[in-house]
Chains A and B, each alone.
Chain A
Amino acid sequence: MQMSHAIFERNSIILLIGVLITVAIGGIVEIVPLFLIKNTIERVEGMRPYTPLELAGRQIYLREGCYTCHSQMIRSLRSEVDRYGHYSLAAESMYDHPFQWGSKRTGPDLARVGGKYSDEWHQVHMKNPRNVVPNSIMPGYAFLSEEVLETEEIKDLIKAHRMTGVPYDDEMVENALADLKAQANPDSDYDDLLNRYGEKVSVRDFAGDGPKVTELDALIAYLQMLGTLVDTDVYGIEAKLQQ
């Protein structure tokens, strides 16, 4: 027994194979469940891919590191449910690449912040949070309302998400830019956008700054749809209690 591992020590090929097997066990245990993940996501109605404007807003959320202070997952604990609303369902983040669940909460969870405030509130709050929450420690992002949204890459962004399995069809990819502009302009012809992404998509001048599309327009469009797609009464606690 003492000497038995000498065989690994004396023969580099055998050592290599031994290492491979050991690492593979760890790998299989961690990776195989990922192949099965589709089966652990409940099937729900109402989920749709992000519209181009929302997706662009999500990019800004990532760029600015909002996730360093905000989580987007309401845990299945009563205190969480009481405060933030129904716990998050796996399906609600199935089009998130990467997901924004997080575990660091300097600020509140944002998984269901959509519709909690008005666009005007977000405009004021993003400019300087202390204008509405006097003791807030969140930084201001006043520049977002001045930066015109960069749209050259929106088509590629949608394509990249399609590669990860988000069901964008060819039409959605082709019309990405048109859809993006239409959603931020209530005077535009946005029927096609609604046909592609559903009647419930909000079309508004989110940043309240007229026809130009700023980064703030995109970010507010994103924040205002968070957690609004799935009717949780059908799938969550209510349904559990009825069982």
Chain B
Amino acid sequence: MSSEHKDVDQHSGTETTGHEWDGIKELNTPLPKWWLYTFYVTVVWALGYFIVFPAIPYFDGSKWDATGGVINYDQRAVVAEAVEENEARLKPYTEAIVKASFQEILADQELMDVAYAGGSIAFKENCAGCHGTGAQGFVAFPNLNDDDWLWGGTIEDIHQTITHGIRWEQDYDTRYSQMPSFGSDEILEKEDIKDVTQYVMQLGGLDHSAEAAARGATVFEEQCSVCHAADGKGDKTQGAPNLTDAIWLFGSDRETIYETIYYARNSVMPAWKERLDEATIKKLAVYVYSLGGGVEPSDAAAR
């Protein structure tokens, strides 16, 4: 520091840098001390960070790597540990749920509470997009609260549906059936489809033309009864819905029913065995079963 050059600007009373350009001098206004020291602290912090955390790249002769730092921090190990810890905490329940039969779970209040709570969380994340947060369903995605089941409402049936999905082709054990596209594949004439539409409306107790429905009855007998049964009450082994009740997957107006028969829908539900573990799937089955529409095995046999 050349203190003898000290040169103070008369107007502001501030020291100048001593440089002079064509008579113009530059004021010397240093950074505030607190700012400067904060800056030095961050530099020291950065150096410390370099040493403590993985940071410095080096070439180990064959490939590039980075130092692990003093504490050898690894976020992936941290998650793995957190996941493991959580699993360990839940293990007594998870194991019990995987091991127990459904009848045992339903009979054991504690297991039941755990399964129901876990199932309801998993349902919101994985199923609510299609079946709704309250499992009330949407057009083309069935309501799971009622006792009108496409593929069966025993807890085992539900478990099977969730595990392997419905028409989910990547899963070899998926539930499968295919209603033909009677119109677009030219199996039936448009007139026949109109008639059988009227017959379906008659079955469902909707307003219909009796004359057309009478003609439609023959078509139904020939083309539809293999799946929907002669009385229209459906067949759970093929996921064919009961057409005589007031519950409609796709809607009960004439155009919608006509379209269903013309194009067929063959809705798809994903299989969950790849995405969720067995304990979660079992919890989900318990949850769905308990929503109100679950069917006792003995009832199912009686139907």
Chain A interface residues (CB < 8 Å from chain B) = 1-3, 6, 9, 33, 36, 39, 76-78, 81-83, 85, 87, 115-121, 124-125, 131-134, 236-237, 240-241
Contact assessment for A2 and B2 in the assembled complex, using a CB-CB cutoff below 8 Å: yes
Enumerate chain A residues within 8 angstroms of B128, measured Cβ to Cβ.
133
A78 and B5 contact, Cβ closer than 8 Å, known pairs A39-B64, A117-B130, A131-B139: no
B269 at the interface (CB under 8 A from A): yes
Contact assessment for B267 and A120 in the assembled complex, using a CB-CB cutoff below 8 Å: yes
B80 at the interface (CB under 8 A from A): yes
B67 at the interface (CB under 8 A from A): no
Give the size category of B's interface with A: 35 or more
For B170, give the chain A residue with the smallest CB separation. A115
B205 at the interface (CB under 8 A from A): no
Shortest CB–CB separation between residue A241 and chain B, in angstroms? 5
Enumerate chain A residues within 8 angstroms of B126, measured Cβ to Cβ.
116
Enumerate chain B residues within 8 angstroms of A117, measured Cβ to Cβ.
129-130, 270
Enumerate chain A residues within 8 angstroms of B12, measured Cβ to Cβ.
none
Contact assessment for B75 and A76 in the assembled complex, using a CB-CB cutoff below 8 Å: yes
Contact assessment for A132 and B129 in the assembled complex, using a CB-CB cutoff below 8 Å: yes
Contact assessment for B83 and A81 in the assembled complex, using a CB-CB cutoff below 8 Å: yes
Enumerate chain A residues within 8 angstroms of B75, measured Cβ to Cβ.
76
Shortest CB–CB separation between residue A221 and chain B, in angstroms? 15
When chains A and B are docked, how far (Å) is the Cα of A120 from the Cα of B2?
81
A241 and B80 contact, Cβ closer than 8 Å, known pairs A1-B1, A33-B57: yes
For B131, give the chain A residue with the smallest CB separation. A132
* Interface hub of B65, B77, B83, B138 (most chain A Cβ within 10 A): B83
For A131, give the chain B residue with the smallest CB separation. B138
* Interface hub of A78, A87, A117 (most chain B Cβ within 10 A): A78
B93 at the interface (CB under 8 A from A): no
Enumerate chain A residues within 8 angstroms of B17, measured Cβ to Cβ.
2
When chains A and B are docked, how far (Å) is the Cα of A236 from the Cα of B84?
13
When chains A and B are docked, how far (Å) is the Cα of A218 from the Cα of B75?
36
A-B contact count (CB 8 A): 82
Enumerate chain A residues within 8 angstroms of B63, measured Cβ to Cβ.
39
B33 at the interface (CB under 8 A from A): no
What are 8 pairs between A and B in contact, CB < 8 Å? A2-B5, A39-B65, A78-B83, A115-B274, A118-B168, A124-B140, A131-B138, A240-B80
A121 and B275 contact, Cβ closer than 8 Å, known pairs A3-B2, A76-B75: no
Contact assessment for A115 and B275 in the assembled complex, using a CB-CB cutoff below 8 Å: yes
Enumerate chain B residues within 8 angstroms of A77, measured Cβ to Cβ.
79, 82
Complex partner residue of B18 from A2, A78, A85, A132, CB under 8 angstroms? A2
Enumerate chain A residues within 8 angstroms of B86, measured Cβ to Cβ.
78, 82
Enumerate chain B residues within 8 angstroms of A134, measured Cβ to Cβ.
132
Complex partner residue of A3 from B18, B78, B138, B170, CB under 8 angstroms? B18
Shortest CB–CB separation between residue A4 and chain B, in angstroms? 11
B22 at the interface (CB under 8 A from A): no
Shortest CB–CB separation between residue A105 and chain B, in angstroms? 15
B268 at the interface (CB under 8 A from A): yes
Shortest CB–CB separation between residue B144 and chain A, in angstroms? 15
Contact assessment for B79 and A87 in the assembled complex, using a CB-CB cutoff below 8 Å: yes
Contact assessment for A83 and B125 in the assembled complex, using a CB-CB cutoff below 8 Å: yes
When chains A and B are docked, how far (Å) is the Cα of A110 from the Cα of B63?
33
* Interface hub of B19, B80, B268 (most chain A Cβ within 10 A): B80
When chains A and B are docked, how far (Å) is the Cα of A231 from the Cα of B293?
37
A120 and B80 contact, Cβ closer than 8 Å, known pairs A9-B19, A39-B64: no
When chains A and B are docked, how far (Å) is the Cα of A125 from the Cα of B168?
19
B303 at the interface (CB under 8 A from A): no
For A129, give the chain B residue with the smallest CB separation. B129
- Chain B 1-55 interface residues, beta-carbon cutoff 8 Å to A: 1-2, 5, 17-19, 28
Contact assessment for B270 and A118 in the assembled complex, using a CB-CB cutoff below 8 Å: yes
When chains A and B are docked, how far (Å) is the Cα of A240 from the Cα of B82?
12
Contact assessment for A78 and B79 in the assembled complex, using a CB-CB cutoff below 8 Å: yes
- Chain B 68-91 interface residues, beta-carbon cutoff 8 Å to A: 75-80, 82-84, 86
Contact assessment for B2 and A118 in the assembled complex, using a CB-CB cutoff below 8 Å: no
B151 at the interface (CB under 8 A from A): no
Contact assessment for B268 and A119 in the assembled complex, using a CB-CB cutoff below 8 Å: yes
B141 at the interface (CB under 8 A from A): yes
Extra pairs beyond A81-B79, A118-B130, A121-B130 (19, CB < 8 Å): A1-B1, A2-B17, A6-B19, A76-B78, A78-B79, A78-B82, A78-B83, A116-B129, A116-B270, A116-B275, A117-B129, A118-B267, A118-B270, A120-B268, A133-B129, A237-B79, A237-B80, A241-B80, A241-B84
